Structure 1
Amino acid sequence: MKRRSLLSLALLAGAAGASDSAFKPVGLPSEASELDTGIEDFLMGLWQLDPDAAVAAGRFEQSHRITLPSAALRAQRRQFLKRWLKAFQRLAVDKLGAAERMDRDMLIAKLQSDLWRLEVLREWAWNPAEHNPAGPIDLALNTDWAPVQQRVQALHARIRQLPAFYAAARASLVGVTREHTELALQQAPGVLAVLEDLESQAQQQGLGALMQPDLAQARAAVAGWQAHLRQLLPIARRPWRLSAALYETKFKHDIQSARSARETYELALARRETVLASMQAQAEALWPTVIGPEAPPADRFALIGRVIAKLSEKHVARDRFVDEIRAQIPQLEAWVRDHDLLTQDPAKPLAVRETPVYQRGVAGASIEAPGPYRPQDSTYYNVTPLDDLTPEQAESTLREYNQWILQILNIHEAIPGHYTQLVYANKVPSKVKALFGSGSMVEGWAVYGELMMLESGYGASPEMTLMWGKWHLRSVTNTILDYSVHVLGMEQKAALDLLTRQAFQTEREAAEKWRRVQLTSVQLTSYFSGFSEIHALREQLKAKPGFGLKAFHEKFLSYGNAPVRLIAAEMAGALR
């Protein structure tokens, strides 16, 4: 499922800040030291103009300020991005070490991406869900960066600015999509829930009466935002499909792959055939024990689907869904430790919690990691409970996350997937690699982590092998679906058939994925793109003398969140 590549990645991907001047390389004794100085100056400027990005990164001294989505701020960002892009491009590459070259390349890619998003994609104009102030408030309130009273006081100053925030957001919107407007309406009550949490903390600190007038104005601003969105719905006609030209460019910026979007799509089609052939053989072997003496169907989708459907009846009870996820985490930690797959840090806490309301509506599970300035803080494994579902919807979800796939989900999201990788990323000395990393690397590692665990013998059984095939097919199908929908014009009926009949997902899961592909673009390709590049790198290095699996894992993770293509170039080059 979608990760809040928190890394602050989701929050920082489109962010930019301001600084009075960019550094000017003028031949100081060391290009590396010049780069380091420039990075610090760049980040300080970034945090000054974009306090939301600062809070996401763990710079909580900016908690009292808010990032206004105004035309004036966008103009400042544009100027800032162009100035810093020119400055980093002027650095002499041949005088930098490998780590510094990677930082420079990543900064240039980030600045180019931010400029393109600001000037060409312009999602701030057509996606109302871009303007959601809840995340930084929740993070600053519930992170132990200062005494509670100080946190409340800082956020008091922030919520005073919410009316101006929503006024700027309303002024920014032009030609919105209906789908993103509906998402913003769905998430608005979550902002109110965060304000209620803040009010409760303020009352406990004796600040409730002082804050009450500003809280009332903040709530009124949210209500005004909701009313404005409802007025936009009847005229929200912008197509949500990205189109071929925008899609290929966004893929280049977001995925940072050595391949194009089209090449990745074609590779996914080939991988799909390989996975389906393997699943067919597994289903044929399981048929007599799972289904019985009935003759299996000739159609491979029907054959595989029948076996998966029967096995999927084994799942956790509805009211145990979140608790079961919480219980499996120590088991995964023990497996990784006992099989010496990589070193873990027991001092880094992982908290399984119900997904905050303001984050719901796109995916049911995600990892939310602290920024690199606060690596000691908790990582949250957000899981959306099934409380609000009908019995039929809950059963569909539970069958999708059945006895075997729920374990694979936890491998992907937690150990040795996202949680483990992000802990490593926050240890990397380079803030660039932690802050501005590749979502494809992050998602690709999580998919690779699934394969890693199964190759080590985890859950060894024909049922687990078949279910991992289904889960892995999801990553592959994500790429096929996203490209087919946004570039090739695939309609809902064909998309649902691809997901349900051909990828064996439940109707509810498929419906949620169809909604997600309308609300997002390119991100769904990050799973397979990143995995395929990581796996190819591992197979390339396995042929070299002295290869060790644990050493490979830890070396790969030591590069933080850098794009796989840059990591591969360094790791493969080191063995030449």
Structure 2
Amino acid sequence: MNSGDKKTEFEELRQKVFDYVMEDNPVLATNMGLHEYDDQLPDGSRSSREETIAKFNKWKSKLENINQDELTNEEADSLRFGKHVLGLRLFELEELRFWESNPGQPQVVGSSLLPLLKRNFAPLEDRLRSAIARINQIPEFLDSSKDRIDDPVELWVKMSKESLEKLPGLLEVVKKTTAESDLGKEEQEKLEEAVVEARKSFEDFGNWLEKISQESREGFAIGRGKFEKLLEKQKLGYGIDEIMDLGKKYLEESRGSMEKYSRRINEDYSVKDALGHVEENTPKDFSKALTWYKGAIEEAKDYVERKNLATLPENEDITVMETPSYLRHVIPFAAYIPPAKYDDDREGVYLVTPPEDEEELSRFAFWSIRNTTVHEGYPGHHLQMSASVESDDLFALLSHATETIEGWAHYCEEMMKDYGFDDTPEARLIQLKDRRWRAARIIADVKLSTGKFSYREGVEYMADTVRMDEKSAEAEVKRYTQNPSYQLSYLLGKHKLGLLREHVKKIMGGDYRDRFFHDQLIYGGSIPIKFHRDRFNRLVEQGDY
């Protein structure tokens, strides 16, 4: 077979994998901007997961039989991405098997409706029709998913109950939005009928959750062996003990630096005194906090452009909004929903969670908001995600390397201050407070994933180490238990990007520019940092910069 045939085989296989992933996960497809799937929910059954495993194994085997020497550099890169994506996903499906122990379908239902309500990719009435179609499928989706749960985790069953309790309120939001739209009476009646049936299915699913909770297991840890293998599959280049050492090192360094900046604010201040002083500058209400978020985002965007730190994609934008109620128990502070690859506009959504009472408005201190918007907005997640979806490499689009995604956003917090944006003792103190939080996350993540911490021990550790209130610590640690290695990726990723930056500076010499480094990272996609390093080496060797 000649190289042209090989290329055709690779391109066809890549398209086939991508198309299947979109079909298999219509909620992901909606988030990607492929709207032919907007009226569908996924197949929640056991047989669908078994089918995915079989297909991924077949396609991974085919990719491994393609000789990358017969491909262009870009195609060879894509081949590596594809083998990585399928290999990691197969490890999750075949060995971690959370799909058998986590009855998280209520959160899937909620996530399927949010982009239809909040993204303006089509007329409201068209999006509402898709929402009605998805609501119609809720009973079948929830019922079909029951047979795959044969090893339920007690904590995850509880989390599913919490998500389920929020869904009726979300359906009321859809009803209210529909009533205020131009949809006709007949379609509104269809929605009402669908909501009635969905509510019945919620009750049925809740009863089922109660039943399986009686036979659920307490442990959620994947254990040291699988955790080590997960780190290897993610191509992090660090073992468990090395990562723990980094976490402890950064925790101590952060504490020491916080003391230094506290004294710069006032030579008599302890860290507690300084944080108390800085966090006194709080909004009078949540509405004011949202205004601060929006203002900080605009200022950071302008700074990135004026300082030539990175190239902004065309048509990108970001919307700041209050976190929907059904997500608040898993997003205690803020989160970012990236723009869709195939939508005309690069619009991201920045979710900010309101406190349960006015006393907790201290979490929205002015300098905390400034640091968080750099992380979530510019030049953090929003800029990175807006740039990464410019790629047409389908395997790169399927990659979700958390050390690159979260590491970049965390890297930006310090980098922006080094460039003079909010370079004040107050801002540095808050940035270091957040680094201390990420260092503690490393330790909690490793110990929870390897079984060294119970859920309650994880909550107590986070509350004690970073002075987090218990409710927020509980929400955080719940998320940690379902996503081993995710939380350590923030600071480990920042650490690795710092090392990569120094490496690229060294090999480029006087030709090095931060803008080049940043652009290659954000436009290169959410691939493992190891692959970014290989690409930098090739670009510099070829003089392609």
Provide TM-score, normalisation by structure 2.
0.90
Q: Following superposition of structure 1 onto structure 2, how do residues 256-335 of structure 1 map, counting pairs within 5 Å?
A: 256-288=235-267, 291=269, 303-319=270-286, 320-335=288-303
Task: State the partner residue of 2:357.
Answer: 390
After superposition, the C-alpha distances for 1:243-281 in whole angstroms (9 at most, x for unaligned) are 21222223334x431223332222222233333333333
Residue segments in structure 1 that go unaligned for 5+ positions in a row: 1-25, 292-302
Q: Structure 1: which amino acid aligns with 2:220?
A: W
Q: Following superposition of structure 1 onto structure 2, how do residues 16-55 of structure 1 map, counting pairs within 5 Å?
A: 26-29=1-4, 31-55=6-30
Quote how far apart the aligned CAs of 1:355 are.
1.2
After superposition, the C-alpha distances for 1:328-352 in whole angstroms (9 at most, x for unaligned) are 2111112222222122246312100
- Which of 69, 73, 78 is 1:103 aligned to? 78
Q: In structure 2, the residue corresponding to 1:367 is in which secondary structure?
A: strand
Give me the CA root mean square deviation: 2.5
CA distance in 2, matches of 1:345, 1:171: 45
CA distance in 1, matches of 2:63, 2:346: 32
Contact 2:278 2:367 in 1 (8 A): no
Q: Following superposition of structure 1 onto structure 2, how do residues 136-215 of structure 1 map, counting pairs within 5 Å?
A: 136-203=112-179, 204=181, 205-206=183-184, 207-215=187-195
> Residues 42 and 507 of structure 1: is their aligned pair in 2 closer, same or farther, counting only changes over 3 Å?
closer
Task: State the partner residue of 1:372.
Answer: 341
Aligned: 1:232 with 2:200: no
Aligned: 1:567 with 2:532: yes
Q: Structure 2: which amino acid aligns with 1:39?
A: R
Percent of aligned pairs with the same amino acid: 19
Contact 2:340 2:347 in 1 (8 A): no
Q: Following superposition of structure 1 onto structure 2, how do residues 419-458 of structure 1 map, counting pairs within 5 Å?
A: 419-458=382-421
Quote how far apart the aligned CAs of 1:201 are.
4.8
User: Which has the higher relative contact order, 1 or 2, with Cα contacts under 8 A spaced 6 or more apart?
Assistant: 1
Q: Structure 1: which amino acid aligns with 2:528?
A: P
> Residues 150 and 83 of structure 1: is their aligned pair in 2 closer, same or farther, counting only changes over 3 Å?
same
- Which of 97, 101, 104 is 1:126 aligned to? 101
Contact 1:32 1:96 in 2 (8 A): yes
> Residues 332 and 66 of structure 1: is their aligned pair in 2 closer, same or farther, counting only changes over 3 Å?
same
CA distance in 2, matches of 1:84, 1:228: 36
Task: State the partner residue of 1:461.
Answer: 424
Q: Give the structure with the larger helix fraction.
A: 2
- Which of 482, 490, 498 is 1:535 aligned to? 498
Q: In structure 1, the residue corresponding to 2:532 is in which secondary structure?
A: helix
Q: In structure 2, the residue corresponding to 1:331 is in which secondary structure?
A: helix
Provide TM-score, normalisation by structure 1.
0.85
CA distance in 2, matches of 1:495, 1:244: 17
> Residues 489 and 375 of structure 1: is their aligned pair in 2 closer, same or farther, counting only changes over 3 Å?
farther
> Residues 263 and 94 of structure 1: is their aligned pair in 2 closer, same or farther, counting only changes over 3 Å?
farther
Q: Structure 2: which amino acid aligns with 1:227?
A: N
Contact 2:222 2:451 in 1 (8 A): no
Q: Structure 2: which amino acid aligns with 1:490?
A: F
CA distance in 2, matches of 1:498, 1:285: 29
Q: In structure 2, the residue corresponding to 1:91 is in which secondary structure?
A: coil
CA distance in 2, matches of 1:154, 1:514: 34
Quote how far apart the aligned CAs of 1:54 are.
2.2
Contact 1:187 1:360 in 2 (8 A): no
Contact 1:434 1:561 in 2 (8 A): yes
Moved more, 195-204 or 35-44: 195-204
CA distance in 1, matches of 2:297, 2:213: 42
> Residues 410 and 86 of structure 1: is their aligned pair in 2 closer, same or farther, counting only changes over 3 Å?
same
Q: In structure 2, the residue corresponding to 1:350 is in which secondary structure?
A: strand
Residue segments in structure 2 that go unaligned for 5+ positions in a row: none
Contact 1:418 1:442 in 2 (8 A): yes
CA distance in 2, matches of 1:260, 1:104: 26
Quote how far apart the aligned CAs of 1:213 are.
2.5
CA distance in 2, matches of 1:403, 1:143: 28
- Which of 437, 440, 443 is 1:480 aligned to? 443
Moved more, 485-494 or 177-186: 485-494
Contact 1:426 1:434 in 2 (8 A): yes
CA distance in 1, matches of 2:196, 2:205: 14
